[in-house]
Amino acid sequence: QVQLVESGGGSVQAGGSLTLSCEAHGYTYQTYCMGWFRQVPGKEREGVAAIDGYGTKNYADSVKGRFTISQDNGKNTLYLQMNSLKAEDTAMFYCAAAKFLCGSWYRVPPSDEFDYWGQGTQVTVSS
């Protein structure tokens, strides 16, 4: 059973930065796709970034050049470095895991492809 625990959310002014962390247990990074999603009330969950066991990364167009996904396999931790934050980045951010390699998707796979989810961490960006 894969367990995911996010941390690092908070409030920040527009233009600022935050780094989210997701501590993962019960998985083998070489065979998993790890992703970050976000959701605002009343909207569908949106894929933000994904990384697979080969280190291949994909991003949503809305965050390219501002967000960076990475993973420290020795610490079983996934990160999302978020720079130049905008008010429209305000959302609940979720970490997710799926047992397939997603690098060849050339995009963030849809949320229904992921089997395991964290509880979420809130990011609020004020303008």
Best CA proximity match to 46, nearest among 12, 96, 7: 96
Distance (Å, whole) CA 108 – CA 47: 6
34 pLDDT above the threshold of 80 = yes
87 phi and psi angles, rounded to 5 deg: -60, -35
Least confident of 14-23, 38-47, 101-110, 117-126: 101-110
Q: Name the β-bridge partners of 4.
A: 24
Task: Note the pLDDT of residue 29.
Answer: 79
pLDDT, one tens digit per residue, over 50-79 is 999 899 999 999 999 999 999 997 879 999
For 79-124, write each residue's pLDDT tens digit. Answer: 999 999 999 999 999 999 999 889 888 899 999 999 999 999 999 9
Residue 103 pLDDT: 85
Q: Tokens representing 12? A: 């920040």
pLDDT value, residue 117: 97
The residue ranges of DSSP E strands in 74-119, in sequence order, are 77-82, 91-98, 116-117
* Whole-angstrom distance, CA of residue 106 vs CA of residue 4: 24
